[in-house]
Amino acid sequence: MEPIRSLLFVPGNRQKMLDKARDVPADVLVPDLEDSVPPEEKAAARKVVAANLAGFAIRGQHLFVRINALSTGLGEEDLDAVLGPQIEGISVGKADSATDLVELDRLLGRMERRKGLPAGSIAVIPWIESALGIISAHDIARASPRIVAISFGADDFTADMGIPRTKEGTEQFYPRAAVAIAARAAGVMAFDTPFVDFRDEEGLARDCASVRQLGYTGKWCIHPGQVATVNRLFTPSEEEVAYCRRVAAAFDEAVARGTAATSVDGRMIDVPGYQRAQRILDLAAAIARRERGGAAGGRA
Ligand code: GLV
Ligand code: MG
């Protein structure tokens, strides 16, 4: 899957919010059937979401639906209601172990057959948001080839731990890092928890910068107003790209001279420095390609 920076949640029982979300330039739109929908509205939300999916992503955003974990007894009906050619994948809350994902993978396989969808075509983004989930993060990330990314959920994580959730997020440092490293080791993307103070743009920008430095490639948004900041902070800046180009050029020159070490602005650059720069340049190029194309290449 191409690099994803922003994913916008929309409560599945709120038609007006769904209407507004369609035009928001998030990389992924995600109607939610999980925790933004109260228990008594779950059945109604399934119907609302299912009725909205065709032609929903009018800017070509990717379209995923977040479902309840299978262990809640709600997940299978959620899937049955929303699975079809309009969506590219599903996100699933509260993944505690690889077994949860293996079970989901099998269920998706059966449903794909029944609904005439290509086998293995539905992608999965699990949420890792409990102590057990953090301990199992790498096993979860590689439990199924459908998994394209894993997400860290700070609200559920702090609830599970029985600790307050702070804006600075010091209590989230370890689990966030654990999820990002597990994702990298499994070769999938890592998406960070939503920033819940949705009026605090500076706080959001700080949060994005600090998790990007942990290895996150994108972040969930709970409000359309957060999307532009998230997209900006997860796109390598012009200065960053210019610096990486200089690093790559200096390294190429050094290699041509028969040495593998050089320096840029008084800092030593050798193979890993070059590789780091190259990865940022590749990311910037993939994002630019996508922005030029306008659409994300999601399903109609
Ligand atoms: C999101 O689902 C969270 O628990 O933070
Ligand atoms: Mg959660």
Q: Report the atom number in ligand 1 closest to the C-alpha of 159.
A: 4
Where residue 294 falls among pLDDT bands split at 50, 70, 90?
Answer: low
Do 194 and 289 fall into the same domain? no
User: What local confidence, expressed as pLDDT, does residue 202 receive?
Assistant: 97
Do 208 and 263 fall into the same domain? no
User: What local confidence, expressed as pLDDT, does residue 290 receive?
Assistant: 87
Residue whose CA is at the smallest distance from ligand 1 atom 2? 153
Residues contacting residue 215 through CB under 8 Å, at least 6 positions apart? 177, 180, 181, 183, 184, 190
Per-residue model confidence as pLDDT tens digits over 28-77: 999 999 999 999 999 999 999 999 999 999 999 999 999 999 999 999 99
User: What local confidence, expressed as pLDDT, does residue 88 receive?
Assistant: 98
Per-residue model confidence as pLDDT tens digits over 236-275: 999 999 999 999 999 999 999 999 899 999 999 999 999 9
Residue 234's nearest CA partner among 274, 280, 268, 293 is 280
Provide the strand spans (E) within 200-272. 218-221, 262-264, 267-269
- DSSP assignment letter at 222: S
CB atoms within 5 A of ion ligand 2 belong to 129, 153, 156
pLDDT at 300 over 50: no
Rounded Cα distance between 33 and 2, Å, is: 25
Do 217 and 135 fall into the same domain? yes
Residue 121 covered by a domain: yes
Q: Is the CB of 12 under 6 A from ligand 1?
A: no
Do 111 and 226 fall into the same domain? yes
Do 140 and 224 fall into the same domain? yes
Residue 4 corresponds to which tokens in the numbers above?
Answer: 């994803």
Residue 102 covered by a domain: yes
Do 51 and 132 fall into the same domain? yes
User: What local confidence, expressed as pLDDT, does residue 293 receive?
Assistant: 76
Q: Which of 193, 196, 216, 219 to mutate to test the pocket of ligand 1 (most atoms within 8 A of CB)?
A: 193
Q: What is the mean pLDDT of residues 208-229?
A: 97
Inter-helix orientation angle 173-186/154-161, to 10° = 120
Q: What is the mean pLDDT of residues 277-285?
A: 96
Q: Report the atom number in ligand 1 closest to the C-alpha of 156.
A: 4
pTM (two decimals): 0.95
Q: Which domain holds residue 250?
A: 238-295
Residue 300 covered by a domain: no
Q: Which of 10, 66, 91, 155 to mutate to test the pocket of ligand 1 (most atoms within 8 A of CB)?
A: 155
Do 229 and 247 fall into the same domain? no
CA of 154 to the centre of ligand 1 (A): 5
| Domain harbouring 220, CATH code | 3.20.20.60
